[in-house]
Amino acid sequence: MTIVMISATLLAAALALPAAALETEESSPAGKPDISALPGFAGKEEVPAAEDAPAEPEPPARVIDPSPSDEVVSPAARLSAREAEWNFLKAASAEQDREITRIVMTQISGWLDSGPLDSTAAEAQLLKAEMRLRLKDYSEATVDLLKQLQLYPGSGAAEKAAPMLEGLVNDKADKKLRPMLLELAKPFNKPAKEDRLAMLLERLAEEAGSGYYAPLVEEFRLFFERFPSYPRRDVLQRALAAMHAAKKEYVAARVAYEKLISMHPATPLMAGSKLALAGLRTDSLKEHDRAIDGYLDVTVSFPGTSEAWDAYGRLPDLAEKQKKYELAVETYEKIIALYPEKPEAYEAYRSAARVLRERMKKPAEAVAVLVRLADKYGGEKAHEALFLAAEITRKDIKDAAAESALYDKITAEYEKDGQAPRAMYAAGEAWEKAKNYDMARQYYMKLSEKYRDDKFASKAQKRLDSILGK
């Protein structure tokens, strides 16, 4: 009986479900089922009017996770870590295996770079040098020992380093460099470590840069990282650039000079550095157009200086090589105007005339320059210039009257120098070639009568006889 009642109840419930669904469907709009009652459905939110809508919240600021180097480490924790690392490196340095030695030596170098003022730094610097010797890196070991003696004078490590350096220098260094290297083992009379180290690097770069190039490049890098605002950094940067150039590392030298010029606009080394950079571009990098710009910059920015004079000396030849003939002539003219008493001014006149004639095809302007030369210098230089001017007039301008006028100038102004007979004969020839025999005859006759004993007089008489016989 009970089972029958339960079955009837279940059947009634099952029949009720379709009816309920139908009732729900009929009550939903447009005959569509209402799904808002389904689990997880939030329904369509009613959008408020624009004026009633709340302002969107500002996006939260991005939080950048600090890197390990940004984390605040207590001094005690840092000291403990460094001591632990030092103890390991010191113990590991006893290994004789070459590969292990190099690995440990590199790590000691990094340990020193991160804490060069630690109480154990002197010992570490010495240990680094000892491992260099074990690896037969003699130039690196020499620099390490010199650095040790300059940075930590009076230390126990320094007492050991001095005889090590002396033996190394006497055994391995170039004989010419030995006195200088042993001199640098004596600490400079400077209280600050950075000053002593700077003086060491400057001297080594200047006097032994080629032999100790690689370790010095590294030491310069470390110095600039450790002392970025060092007052004499410009001097060191110049020493580094010059060392690169001497080693024929020209690109590195160019970058070093450019860095100096960019970082130290007020340095007294600016003129020399710009001049050196221009020379580097000319002679080694073959960047001739940029070199021209550099030389021009020096002449304009540093007038009256020795650097400006040197720039003027290089600029015109380079301009001519680059077919910038007008610039070459302009530069020669500036040399003439700015340095009239220098011997190079005379050559500037001649060179300007040559470029005007041969390169720019302006013979008349070339003649004018030569006449100016003659007026300034007189004497033999004037004779040569005026005869050359007459030759240019004959060959390039083809003007007998202008050519003859130049000979007249020689005759009138340099008769006492013995040039008149030659000039008069040349004038007669010029008119004869122009088929103006009357003018030619006048010059020949005057020469024959006035300078009867001169060799040109007999030649003139022969030309005169030839003309009269025509």
> What is the per-residue pLDDT across 173-185, written as a single tens digit (0 to 9) for each?
999 999 999 999 9
Residue 431 CA to residue 416 CA, distance in Å, equals: 25
| Distance from C-alpha of 313 to C-alpha of 335, rounded to nearest angstrom | 9
Interval 216-275: pLDDT, tens: 999 999 999 999 999 999 999 999 999 999 999 999 999 999 999 999 999 999 999 999
pLDDT for res 151: 93
Per-residue pLDDT at 4 exceeds 90: no
Given this model, what pLDDT does residue 46 score? 47
Residue of 271, 243, 275 lying closest to 256 (CA atoms): 243
Q: Which tops the pLDDT comparison, 61 or 338?
A: 338
What's the confidence (pLDDT) of residue 81? Answer: 84
Domain boundaries, the chain: 78-204, 411-470
pLDDT tens digit sequence for 364-414: 999 999 999 999 999 999 999 999 999 999 999 999 999 999 999 999 999
pLDDT tens, position by position, 34-66: 434 434 434 444 444 545 555 566 665 554 555
- Region 79-85: what's the mean pLDDT? 84
pLDDT at 470 over 70: no
Strands (E), 161-228: none
From the number of C-beta atoms within 10 Å of its C-beta (0-12, 13-18, 19+), residue 287 rates as: middle
- CA 453-456-459 angle, to 5 degrees, is 110
Q: Taking a C-beta distance cutoff of 8 angstroms, is the pair 424, 456 a contact? A: yes
Question: pLDDT-based confidence at 30, cuts 50/70/90?
Answer: very low
67 — phi, psi (to 5°)? -75, 165
Would you state the pLDDT for residue 113?
85
Mean pLDDT of 112-120: 75
Taking the C-alpha atoms of residue 148 and residue 163, their distance in angstroms, rounded to an integer, is: 13
Query: What CATH number does domain 78-204 carry, 3.30.300, 1.10.3470, 1.25.40, 3.10.50?
Result: 1.25.40
The CA distance from 52 to 24, in Å, is 35
Terminal C-alpha separation, the chain: 171
305 contact partners, CB below 8 Å, separation of at least 6: 271
Query: Residue 383 is inside which H or E element, if any?
Result: helix 379-392
Residue 194 CB contacts under 8 Å (≥ 6 apart), including other chains: 223, 226, 227, 230
Q: Report the pLDDT value the prediction gives residue 72, as an integer from 0 to 100.
A: 59
Residues in the chain, total: 470
Q: What is the pLDDT of residue 45?
A: 44
Q: What mean pLDDT is predicted for residues 156-182? A: 96
